[in-house]
């Protein structure tokens, strides 16, 4: 399975927060970074990105400001706020727990039960 | 949270900037993607095309982004508002009628509320008004009385720890002479703590010093700004000069600003203030004063009351127990408004009913409109609008409607309140100009929102609950109304009829009471009689001899005027308020009646003839009844009935407080003359004024024509006898009589006006509903008539459909009225709250009007030609 196109609900926000936590990014950059870090396995539907960014900004997780992109374009850069950082940590922890739990369930053998 | 509100606010208020930002962000995205794709080997056009397709429809994102920022709600509100306004423009008739109806309801309610606000709700205009309390004494026989014994006051003033300070004041009158025409002025007597208690500052000069209310202090006076400007031209140097009041010189200490007003149950303009010496001689003839105090911070009314009670008991201990049972303490505001509260609440209740009727009418209009908009709703539901969304849109519309009504209503209230104030203010203790303040505006706004939701909710629910299939299937045909909607319409009709019925019953009962009161024979002829009172300066007219001489001379001169038919004098004018009731001190020879009481009036010999009070036994007074002759009295019939055995009074003897030492022989009995239309006639004793003279007298002049034409001639006769004695209260007895009915007339007219408006609104509502019924049934009517039904049958069917609800409503209205009118009891006179005549008359009026409102549209429906009706879609 190369592409995980159908993301679990709530994971988009987590991915965006993580991507932005690595350094301020504009919208397209966030997209690229997620693809890049996931080795191309996670592709975000481009249309879903902007509403999610606006929602996170409205919730105070992100802050935005206009800057210049690497190819000299005016672009809106998003950076993580303190609240965003907290949220990222909490959600990442939660996610790890779910993954661990799922893994242990899925790796269960008949003799362990 | 705050950041969220700010981001939402920014996006709402600067929508274009917000959109441009988003556009640019998306553009950057597309450009970046294009470049990446070109790097992967695509041509520029192809790369751009791909980039755009990948991003998708960005109009949708715009919506989603706005939603993400919490903008859905304000955006939709904006849409709803503009949609609503557009639909109002398309239906100007509907909009105008609804807005006008609501404006009437909201305007009338707001106007009344303006007065209620000014009188009952707005705090008194002194610092910390909530600490101001008014002290009353509870009397054994009469209950709480606003005047208390001056000695009790002195004890409280000296001993109270919960009230600090305690002050007393009372009303008085003086003859102001010197430097211009003599004037009879109204004055206040107040202890020196009075002004500091209220925390007033003088305009110029100073207020009372603490020692100035002690016996023997040099007399000082504080002028009101009005008197200072009127009589002294606003000259600041008047401070320190002398002013002559009742022949005694007072030094002007200062001037009070015009903003200083003393609240009272009735209007009393204090022209000046002098110190009240807190003993029997200083407190005026009755030895009673009004007492106010300021609660120490943190003290409760109850604590203060029990302290005053304790002090009262200890000062009265040992002395005669008296009839004072205890102390009643209330905030000053409550005490002042106690009398007008009932009237105002009555008005508010009546106008509330009116508002309800207006709301019901508009709800009806909305229902009819909803029926015609069914298709519109169906289309909107089909293209995906949610039901809640549609309800919200309809509610936005009705609230908008109500707000428009409120704006217009506020304009109405502004105009109406001036009328209202001019109309009722003589009976209102309002302190400041009655105006529209933030509270009134808030009330009006709240009223609009609540009414908008109240009358809009049901029609909105109704409109949104439609069956898509049915409506859309009936392609061209006008959709027939669902059953529940018909039921709801009937309910509205019933409720507005019931409300109108209750208003009419209230108005009817008050009107009948008013007629009763006005129709009462006062026992004297008030037509063409001029009344004028002269209070002699006591120091200049100290003995009965000079007092009698003055008035005899005055009456003689007035009698000499052209066109004067009779002149008489009385110590208490008819319908006047000069209290001469005496309880105790009266003895009837050979009678064991406990504490007989009667009002005593000193009159001139011509009094009965001049006022047309008939003699039933014995004789009138004559000029032969002098100071030196034997003491005589005349009593009235209610006295005779109550105190004389077999009502035979002639020759009997009584003892009165006026001539303590003598027995008075009753020489005549006259018919009753009432002091007031509403109170039962009080037993009366008349004495010849030559034997019981007072330093004051009201002169009554019967003239050949309109008495007002003689006013200046009569007035100048006073000056010709003594130019230092000011005549006052020059008016006709007719005016006096009309004035005494004013409070009742105001109540009746206001409630009557609301009832009339209610009836009009209700009949318009009935008319509207029946017209709607008729138009809905045009097709059916056509069929019936084509099958041979008579025009009359059709008429009956349609009329009955409306009238049925009206009858039910009227029945409910009658039942509710029977329950509610007992609250009117105290305002009625000679009419029971369940007066049959009123109920029947009012019901007849309502039914006739309602029948007309049903008949007119029904007749129109029955006139339709069957062919036209059948084709009617």
Q: What pLDDT was estimated at residue B429? A: 63
Q: What pLDDT was estimated at residue B475? A: 47
Of B116-130, B262-276, B714-728, B823-837, which one has max mean pLDDT? B714-728
C-alpha B49/C-alpha A105 separation (Å) is 46
- Interchain CB distance below 8 Å, A71 and B26: no
Test the A interface: residue of B65, B67, B75 with most A CBs within 10 Å = B65
Residues B90-96, mean pLDDT to the nearest whole number: 83
Domain boundary assignment for chain B: 2-70, 142-322, 340-518+742-871, 541-723
Across B283-297, B370-384, B386-400, B710-724, least confident range = B370-384
- Interchain CB distance below 8 Å, B65 and A50: yes
- Interchain CB distance below 8 Å, B4 and A58: yes
Residues B116-141, mean pLDDT to the nearest whole number: 85
- Interchain CB distance below 8 Å, A26 and B26: no
Contacts of B58 in chain A (CB under 8 A): 47
* A57-93 pLDDT, tens digit each: 888 888 888 888 777 778 888 988 888 899 899 988 9
Q: Which residue of A has its CA nearest to B21?
A: A76
Q: What pLDDT was estimated at residue A2? A: 43
At B1, is the pLDDT very low, low, confident or very high (cuts 50, 70, 90)? low
pLDDT at B476 over 50: no
Question: Which of B21, B31, B54 comes nearest A46 by C-beta?
Answer: B54
pLDDT at B477 over 50: no
Domain boundary assignment for chain A: 11-112
* B549-568 pLDDT, tens digit each: 999 999 999 999 999 999 99
The pTM of the full predicted model, rounded to 2 decimals, is 0.72
Say what angle helices B778-786 and B742-776 make with each other, to 10 degrees.
60
Across B64-68, B264-268, B301-305, least confident range = B264-268
Residues B829-848, mean pLDDT to the nearest whole number: 92
- First vs last C-alpha separation in chain A: 30
Mean pLDDT over the full length of chain B: 84
> In Å, how far from its chain's centre is CA B791?
51
Q: What pLDDT was estimated at residue B424? A: 67
* CA R_g for chain A: 16
The number of beta carbons lying within 10 Å of the beta carbon of residue B581 is: 13
The number of beta carbons lying within 10 Å of the beta carbon of residue B719 is: 14
Across B39-53, B501-515, B690-704, least confident range = B39-53
Q: Which of the pair, B333 or B323, is modelled with greater confidence? A: B333
At A113, is the pLDDT very low, low, confident or very high (cuts 50, 70, 90)? low
At B70, is the pLDDT very low, low, confident or very high (cuts 50, 70, 90)? low
Q: What pLDDT was estimated at residue B715? A: 93
Q: Which residue of A has its CA nearest to B4?
A: A58
Is residue B48 a contact partner of residue B27, using CB atoms and an 8 Å limit?
no
Rounded to a whole number of angstroms, the distance from the CA of B396 to the nearest CA of chain A is 27
Q: Under DSSP, is residue B602 helix (H, G, I), strand (E, B) or coil?
A: strand
Q: Which of the pair, B59 or B796, is modelled with greater confidence? A: B796
Q: Which residue of A has its CA nearest to B35?
A: A71
Between CA B83 and CA B91, with CA B88 as vertex, the angle to 5 degrees is 130
pLDDT at B648 over 80: no
Listed in sequence order, the residues at least 6 apart from B461 whose beta carbon sits closer than 8 Å to its beta carbon are B391
Q: CATH assignment of A11-112, given 1.10.10.10, 1.10.1520.10, 3.60.15.10, 1.10.569.10?
A: 1.10.10.10
pLDDT at A99 over 60: yes
Of A27-36, B405-414, B498-507, B626-635, which one has max mean pLDDT? B498-507
Q: Is the ipTM of this complex over 0.85?
A: no
pLDDT at B534 over 90: yes
Say what angle helices B44-55 and B15-39 make with each other, to 10 degrees.
130
C-alpha B815/C-alpha B103 separation (Å) is 30
Q: What pLDDT was estimated at residue A1? A: 39
Contacts of B12 in chain A (CB under 8 A): none
C-alpha B385/C-alpha B392 separation (Å) is 11
Q: What pLDDT was estimated at residue B71? A: 65
Contacts of A29 in chain B (CB under 8 A): 32
Residues 3-62 of A with CB under 8 A from B: 26-29, 32, 46-47, 50-52, 54-55, 57-60
In the 3-class helix/strand/coil scheme, how is B382-421 assigned residue by residue?
HCCCCHHHHHHHHHHHHHHHHHHHHHHHHHHHHHHHHHHH
Of B125-129, B285-289, B618-622, which one has max mean pLDDT? B618-622
Is residue B515 a contact partner of residue B864, using CB atoms and an 8 Å limit?
no
Mean pLDDT over the full length of chain A: 82
* B349-371 pLDDT, tens digit each: 889 889 889 888 888 888 877 77
pLDDT at B154 over 70: yes
Q: Which of the pair, A69 or B650, is modelled with greater confidence? A: B650
Q: Which residue of A has its CA nearest to B11?
A: A58
- Interchain CB distance below 8 Å, B35 and A58: no
Q: What pLDDT was estimated at residue B87? A: 82
- Interchain CB distance below 8 Å, A54 and B69: yes
Of B233-237, B346-350, B445-449, which one has max mean pLDDT? B233-237
pLDDT at B397 over 70: yes
The number of beta carbons lying within 10 Å of the beta carbon of residue B679 is: 8
Please give the share of chain B, as a percent, with pLDDT higher than 70. 88
The number of beta carbons lying within 10 Å of the beta carbon of residue B32 is: 22
Residues B854-872, mean pLDDT to the nearest whole number: 78
Rounded to a whole number of angstroms, the distance from the CA of A48 to the nearest CA of chain B is 8
pLDDT at A3 over 50: no
Question: Which of A47, A52, A69 comes nearest B28 by C-beta?
Answer: A69
Is residue B605 a contact partner of residue B552, using CB atoms and an 8 Å limit?
no
Rounded to a whole number of angstroms, the distance from the CA of B383 to the nearest CA of chain A is 24
Question: Which of B21, B31, B56 comes nearest A73 by C-beta?
Answer: B31
At B115, is the pLDDT very low, low, confident or very high (cuts 50, 70, 90)? confident
- Interchain CB distance below 8 Å, B22 and A28: no
Polymer length of chain A: 113
Q: Which residue of B has its CA nearest to A30?
A: B29
C-alpha B652/C-alpha B645 separation (Å) is 10
C-alpha B389/C-alpha B271 separation (Å) is 65
Across B355-359, B393-397, B785-789, B796-800, least confident range = B785-789
C-alpha B222/C-alpha B254 separation (Å) is 5
At B466, is the pLDDT very low, low, confident or very high (cuts 50, 70, 90)? low
Give the residue among B3, B20, B9, B1 at the shortest CA–CA distance from B71.
B9
């Amino acid at each position: 399975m190369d592409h995980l196109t159908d993301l679990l609900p709530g994971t988009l926000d987590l991915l965006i927060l993580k991507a932005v936590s690595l350094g301020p990014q504009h919208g397209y950059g966030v997209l690229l970074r997620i693809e890049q870090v996931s080795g191309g396995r996670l592709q975000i539907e481009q249309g879903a990105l902007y509403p999610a960014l606006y929602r996170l900004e409205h919730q105070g997780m992100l802050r935005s400001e206009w800057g210049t992109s690497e190819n000299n374009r005016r672009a809106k850069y998003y950076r993580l706020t303190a609240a965003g950082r907290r949220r990222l940590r909490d959600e990442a922890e939660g996610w790890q727990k779910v993954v661990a739990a799922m893994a242990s369930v899925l790796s269960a053998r008949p003799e362990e039960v | 949270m705050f950041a969220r509100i700010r981001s939402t606010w920014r996006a709402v208020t600067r929508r274009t900037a917000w959109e441009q930002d988003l556009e640019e962000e998306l553009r950057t995205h597309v450009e970046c993607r294009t470049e990446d794709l070109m790097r992967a080997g695509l041509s520029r056009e192809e790369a751009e095309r791909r980039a755009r397709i990948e991003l998708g429809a960005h109009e949708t994102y715009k919506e989603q982004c706005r939603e993400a920022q919490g903008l859905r709600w304000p955006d939709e509100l904006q849409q709803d508002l503009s949609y609503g306004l557009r639909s109002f423009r398309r239906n100007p008739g509907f909009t105008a009628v609804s807005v006008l109806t609501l404006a009437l309801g909201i305007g009338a309610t707001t106007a009344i509320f303006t007065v209620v606000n000014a009188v009952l709700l707005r705090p008194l205009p002194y610092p910390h008004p909530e600490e101001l309390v008014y002290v009353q004494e509870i009397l054994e026989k009469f209950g709480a009385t606003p005047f208390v014994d001056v000695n009790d006051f002195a004890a409280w003033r000296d001993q109270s720890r919960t009230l600090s300070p305690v002050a007393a004041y009372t009303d008085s009158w003086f003859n102001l002479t010197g430097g211009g025409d003599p004037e009879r002025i109204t004055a206040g007597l107040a202890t020196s703590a009075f002004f500091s208690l209220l925390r007033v500052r003088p305009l110029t000069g100073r207020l009372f010093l603490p020692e100035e209310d002690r016996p023997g202090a040099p007399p000082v006076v504080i002028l009101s700004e009005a008197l200072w400007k009127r009589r002294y031209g606003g000259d600041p140097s008047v401070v320190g000069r002398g002013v002559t009041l009742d022949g005694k010189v007072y030094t002007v200490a200062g001037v009070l600003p015009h903003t200083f007003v003393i609240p009272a149950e009735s209007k009393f303009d204090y022209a000046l203030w002098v110190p009240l010496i807190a003993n029997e001689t200083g407190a005026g003839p009755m030895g009673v004063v009004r007492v106010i105090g300021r609660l120490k911070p943190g003290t409760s009314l109850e604590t203060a009351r029990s302290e005053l009670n304790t002090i009262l008991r200890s000062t009265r201990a040992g002395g005669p127990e008296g009839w004072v049972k205890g102390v009643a303490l209330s905030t000053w505001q409550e005490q002042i408004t106690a009398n007008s509260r009932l009237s105002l609440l009555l008005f508010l209740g009546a106008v509330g009913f009116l508002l309800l009727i207006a709301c019901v009418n508009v709800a009806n209009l909305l229902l009819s409109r909803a029926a015609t908009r069914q298709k519109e709703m169906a289309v909107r539901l089909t293209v995906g609008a949610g039901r809640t969304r549609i309800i919200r849109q309809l509610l936005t519309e009705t609230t908008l409607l109500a707000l428009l009504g409120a704006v217009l209503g506020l304009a109405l209230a502004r105009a109406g309140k001036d009328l209202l104030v001019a109309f009722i203010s003589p009976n209102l203790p309002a302190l400041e100009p009655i105006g529209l303040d933030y509270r009134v505006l808030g009330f009006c706004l709240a009223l609009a929102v609540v009414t908008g939701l109240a009358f809009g909710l049901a029609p909105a629910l109704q409109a949104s609950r439609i069956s898509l299939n049915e409506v859309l299937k009936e392609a061209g045909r006008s959709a027939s109304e669902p059953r529940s909607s018909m039921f709801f319409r009937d309910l509205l009709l019933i409720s507005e009829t019931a409300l109108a019925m209750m208003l009419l019953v209230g108005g009817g009962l008050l009107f009948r009471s008013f007629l009763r009161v006005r129709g009462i024979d006062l026992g004297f002829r008030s037509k063409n009689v001029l009344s004028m009172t002269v209070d002699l300066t006591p120091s200049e007219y100290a003995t009965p001899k000079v007092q009698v001489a003055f008035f005899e001379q005055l009456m003689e001169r007035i009698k000499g005027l052209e066109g004067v038919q009779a002149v008489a004098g009385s110590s208490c004018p008819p319908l006047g308020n000069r209290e001469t009731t005496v309880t105790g001190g009266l003895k009837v020879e050979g009678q064991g009646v406990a504490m007989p009481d009667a009002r005593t009036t000193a009159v001139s010999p011509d009094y009965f003839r001049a006022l047309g009070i008939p003699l039933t036994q014995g004789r009138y007074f004559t000029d032969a009844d002098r100071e030196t002759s034997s003491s005589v009295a005349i009593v009235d019939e209610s006295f005779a009935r109550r105190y004389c055995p077999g009502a035979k009074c002639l020759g009997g003897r009584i003892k009165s407080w006026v001539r303590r030492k003598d027995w008075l022989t009753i020489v005549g009995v006259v018919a009753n003359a009432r002091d007031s239309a509403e109170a039962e006639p009080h037993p009366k004793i008349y004495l010849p004024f030559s034997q019981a003279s007072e330093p004051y007298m009201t002169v009554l002049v019967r003239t050949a024509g309109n008495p007002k034409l003689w006013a200046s001639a009569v007035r100048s006769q006073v000056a010709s006898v003594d130019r230092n004695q000011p005549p006052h209260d020059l008016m006709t007895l007719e005016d006096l009589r009309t004035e005494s009915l004013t409070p009742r007339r105001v109540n009746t007219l206001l409630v009557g006006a609301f009832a009339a408006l209610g009836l009009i609104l209700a009949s318009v509502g009935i008319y509207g509903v029946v017209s709607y019924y008729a138009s809905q049934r045009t097709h059916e009517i056509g069929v019936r008539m084509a099958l041979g039904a008579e025009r009359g049958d059709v008429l009956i069917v349609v009329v009955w459909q409306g009238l049925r609800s009206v009858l039910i409503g009227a029945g409910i209205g009658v039942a509710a009225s029977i329950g509610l009118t007992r609250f009117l009891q105290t305002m009625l006179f000679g009419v029971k709250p369940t007066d049959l005549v009123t109920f029947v008359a009012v019901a007849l009026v309502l039914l006739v009007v309602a029948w007309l409102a049903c008949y007119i549209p029904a007749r129109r429906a029955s006139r339709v030609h069957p062919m036209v009706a059948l084709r009617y879609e």
